[in-house]
Structure 1
Amino acid sequence: MKVGRFLIKRDETDDGYNDPPRPFIEHLIDLRDCLLHCVIAWVLCEIIIIPFAPKITEWIIAPAGLSTDKVQGLGWTAGFSILIKIMLWGGTALSMPFLLFFIMRFVFPGLKRTERSIIVFCLFASTFLFGIGVWMAYAATLEIAIDVLQKINSWVGIKVDIVRLDEHVDIVIKTIIAFGLAFQLPLLLLALGWIGVVPSEALRSRRRIAIVIIFVIAMVLTPPDPVSQTLMALPMCALYEACIWIIRLRELARGDKKKEEDDDEPPAPDDGAD
């Protein structure tokens, strides 16, 4: 069963749309139901994530190679503030598939089959790229970045025996989200190139400027050390180069198709006198 067919509820019309004309009030009712379902799913996921808060806290501490004894919360509300952050971010991540499902179920009936296919592809590609960004942040960047910061502290002459839990959680969450969002930029660029807004030649001619911008973005989004900045920038540069080649192949395919259509057109009749 295709995803697009699973998300739609009505038969496709002759013009390619799935939703026949209906009164405006019915669309408002569908929108209300969509928002209500999204809110319910989000609240339920916020509640479901609560029992897993201790394990998630250990998972967040793990990249630093620290034990829970070395990480301390300062103040009586430290644990509560960490729980709120875990609920917000963890619950939102857990509810995202349900939110996307309800939103697509509301939007898909008004789209053509090709438009639905493009949206489904973008959602899968976006999820895949976001997952790669999260994996890179957690598996490599965070541990290296924290190790570099610890070496800087030792070189300066500062011995850090206690790590503030709230500060460490903020660094981990911000780094993970930053990597996930940064890896969405090539997808946006690919979408613009796919529809013809940004040609491959423009991307190729501005490659050096793009590399500088990528490193600036990595510098802003990552912890203040060159290693983590490089770990974010290099994959983004590779994805930028991949976008150039994919858009170029798209342009070549589009040009060949247009040439075939021109060849299939019958020649214009000759009105000249013999």
Structure 2
Amino acid sequence: MTGAEDDKKMPLLAHLVELRARLLWSVAGFIVAFLVCFYFAQPIFDFLSAPLAKALAAHRISDQQLLRVIYTDVTEVFFTQVKVAAFGALCLSFPVIATQVWLFVAPGLYKQEKKAFLPFLVATPLMFLAGASFMFKVILPLALNFFLSYQHAGGDGELAVQLEAKVGEYIGFIMKMVFAFGFCFELPVLLTLLAKVGLVTSDGLKRKRRYAIVIVFIAAAVVTPPDVFSQVSLAVPLLLLYEVSIWLARMVEKDRAKLAQDSDSDDDTGQEVTPA
């Protein structure tokens, strides 16, 4: 089966065999990536915990305060390393998984459909990486510095307030924020794809802007930790991406109108003129 344009059909059993092969390749890629990431779990953890270490050093309330994270369960560190390895494996194996999905779906598409969907397939991991990087490099340091500013040394009958972060909770917080920003940064890709297939329009997106603002803040409240800072830090970029999506939808509509105009002009020039 070389493509939908060849009008060839595969039996259901052949599709199931093909799907099984693609799933096996995807699982194998994830397992190999997991083993590699588990071997390097400590360096990966050091990378993820670097913003916390920097923030703790900047907000140290006494010379005796140690730059550390703690654990209160004997299995917590081990399962945290497993979680870190799975997180890294998912990131490393995504190109393999996406390639297998494309190889399974592409033979059923026409050439025009392949050209239309391939840019979205490429843009999806790039936008996820942009969202994760924005969170890790910009939002996370701001958030940690904000929350650590509530520490104080105490004294004169006052209790000291000091952060004792648990290793499992910190990694869980990082992973939740990475996935939240990564998936939410897919908004322009999703809306542009919907505009390309004609399900949404730029005018419709502009008319629904007020509803989009409410939905964005609700989504930010659901996927981020329960604090206003994290929710606003995700909602504001999402609103900017929504405006970018309107512009991209308008560009898609202009391209569609141009193609329709060129097609009409070709039809007009191809008609024979019958003499009176």
Residue 63 of structure 2 is matched in structure 1 by none
| Residues 129 and 183, structure 1, Cα contact 8 Å, conserved in 2 | yes
Any stretches of 5+ residues in structure 2 without a counterpart? Answer: 58-65
CA contact (8 A) 2:187 2:241 kept: no
Q: CA deviation at 1:161?
A: 4.3
Provide the secondary structure at the position in 2 that maps to 1:71.
coil
The structure-2 alpha-carbon separation of the partners of 1:113 and 1:126, relative to structure 1 and needing over 3 Å to count, comes to: same
Structure 1 residues 1-274: aligned runs within 5 Å? 16-17=5-6, 20-64=8-52, 65=54, 66=56, 69-152=67-150, 154=152, 159-262=161-264, 264-265=267-268
Distance apart, 1:253 and its partner CA: 3.3
Query: In 2 relative to 1, CA 32–187 (structure 1 residues): closer, same or farther, beyond 3 Å?
Result: same
1:174 aligned counterpart, secondary structure: helix
Change (3 A) 1:105 1:261: closer
* Counterparts of 2:264 and 2:11, CA distance in 1: 43
Alignment TM-score, normalising by the size of structure 2 = 0.82
Residues 31, 207 of structure 1: alpha-carbon distance in 2 compared, 3 angstrom cutoff: same
Give, in angstroms, the shift of residue 200 of structure 1.
1.1
CA contact (8 A) 2:153 2:161 kept: no
SS in 2 for 1:198: coil
Letter in 1 for 2:47: W
- What TM-score do you get using the length of structure 1 for normalisation? 0.83
User: C-alpha displacement at 1:53, in angstroms?
Assistant: 0.4
Q: CA deviation at 1:83?
A: 1.4
| 223-232 or 238-247, larger mean C-alpha shift | 223-232
CA distance in 2, matches of 1:48, 1:218: 33
Q: Equivalent pairs: percent with the same residue?
A: 30
Letter in 1 for 2:248: I
Corresponding residue of 1:6:
none
- Partner secondary structure for residue 40 of structure 2: helix
- State the distance in 1 between where 2:255 and 2:94 align: 35
Shift of 1:16: 2.3
Distance 1:21 1:220, change over 3 A: closer
Does the 8 Å CA contact 1:186/1:236 hold for their aligned counterparts? no
Q: Which runs of 5+ in 1 are unaligned?
A: 1-9, 270-274
Query: Does the CA contact (< 8 Å) of 1:148 and 1:225 recur in 2?
Result: no
CA RMSD of aligned residues (A): 2.9
